Amino acid sequence: MKDLVGIKEISRQEIEEILNTARAFKEVLTRDIKKVPTLRGKTAINLFFEPSTRTRTSFELAEKRLSLDVLNFSVSTSSVVKGETLYDTLKTIESYNVDYIVIRHSASGAAKFVADNTPACVINAGDGTNEHPTQALLDAFSIVEVKGKLDGLKIAIVGDIIHSRVARSNLYLLSKFDTEITFVGPPTLLPSDVPSNVSISYDLKKGIKDADVVMLLRIQLERQKGAFIPSLKEYFHVWGLKGDAFSYLKKDAIVMHPGPMNRGVEISSEIADSPRSIILRQVTNGIATRMAVIYLLTRREV
């Protein structure tokens, strides 16, 4: 593959190869010297048109651990604010003969547009409401670390599914394995075109009580055009995962959140900071997973 634009386009076998490679890189990250010379002499640029903490920092660390030269492109101090287009920004960057472009953009399809217009390897770090493939891969890696497998698991995805690229990438990934997926949330935040392999629950307790994995999602106010929920306070009251869930969740169920999480909206501190939560493990695994993706891509020769 030259690019990783979405999980939709890749096979179960390719996903397993990425997870196995990430496992090897995770071992590298436990060493005193957490760096390999694998991609020395090559260059990566991180092109973030939207804010990010986890994805941006873990891509940068992954690139540095692989000995890449790294450029971080800051939109707010670039000529984008003077009206330069995505295409012209891309062509400018390409003139430096970069090998990898990591892009986050508010427009669905932006990563594919960039991938189609450059010989460099392009990795989608989140495009609008479309996909966030490396998040789904690090989520899968984290689940396998804790549960030992994906096949046979019941996974509940809870919250603002309609606006979530994380939910879409996880749906595509988990559907390539033998998983039982349930979307849980208020009707206004669930998509109308739910695939036939996915169950729906409008009741938090019923939707998650049998789950092995509970994936919470951020309420994406910045993408909501209209009133999807009465208020954040009411959302927390009805849909937020709170301490009472300990009484009905399966004893070995794990709780995930891609971040940034809103405490007191999607999740209480009691749950977020409990041993059930693997939220910080997800963050840690972002580095090895992204190292694996970068390592496995191959630039098109021109």
Binding site for ligand CP (CB under 6 A): 52-56, 126, 132, 135, 258-260
Least distance between ligand CP and beta carbon 50 (Å): 8
Structure tokens that stand for 187 in this block: 């009707």
126: left (phi over 0), alpha (psi -120 to 50) or beta: left
Among the listed residues 43, 55, 134, 289, the single catalytic one is 55
Residue 186, preceding bond cis, omega within 30 degrees?
Answer: no
223 as an active site residue: the answer is no
Q: Identify the DSSP state of 299.
A: P
Q: Identify the DSSP state of 278.
A: -
Among the listed residues 82, 85, 225, 251, the single catalytic one is 82
Least distance between ligand CP and beta carbon 251 (Å): 27
Those residues whose C-beta lies under 8 Å from the C-beta of residue 32, and which sit 6 or more positions away, are none
Among the listed residues 54, 64, 154, 250, the single catalytic one is 54
Q: Judged by CB, which is closer to ligand CP: 207, or 259? A: 259
Q: Judged by CB, which is closer to ligand CP: 114, or 279? A: 279
Structure tokens that stand for 225 in this block: 């055009």
132 as an active site residue: the answer is yes
Q: Judged by CB, which is closer to ligand CP: 89, or 135? A: 135
Least distance between ligand CP and beta carbon 262 (Å): 12
Q: Judged by CB, which is closer to ligand CP: 42, or 46? A: 46
Answer whether 100's CB lies under 8 Å from 69's CB: no
Least distance between ligand CP and beta carbon 136 (Å): 10
Checking 275-280 for CB contacts under 8 A at 24+ apart, the result is 276/246, 276/249, 278/142, 278/146, 278/254, 279/255
Q: Judged by CB, which is closer to ligand CP: 42, or 214? A: 214
Q: Judged by CB, which is closer to ligand CP: 42, or 167? A: 167
Using CB atoms within 10 Å of the CB of residue 266, give its burial: 0 to 12 exposed, 13 to 18 middle, 19+ buried: buried
Which of 113, 102, 98 is closest to 49 using CA atoms? 102
Instruction: Please give the C-alpha separations between residue 240 and each of 121, 161, 213, in angstroms, as whole numbers.
Output: 39, 14, 16
Among the listed residues 26, 65, 112, 132, the single catalytic one is 132
Least distance between ligand CP and beta carbon 286 (Å): 8
Which of 178, 185, 181, 252 is closest to 217 using CA atoms? 185
104 as an active site residue: the answer is yes
Those residues whose C-beta lies under 8 Å from the C-beta of residue 279, and which sit 6 or more positions away, are 255, 256, 257, 259, 261, 272
Least distance between ligand CP and beta carbon 124 (Å): 11
Helix (H, G, I), strand (E, B) or coil at 254: strand
Catalytic positions are 54-55, 82, 104, 132
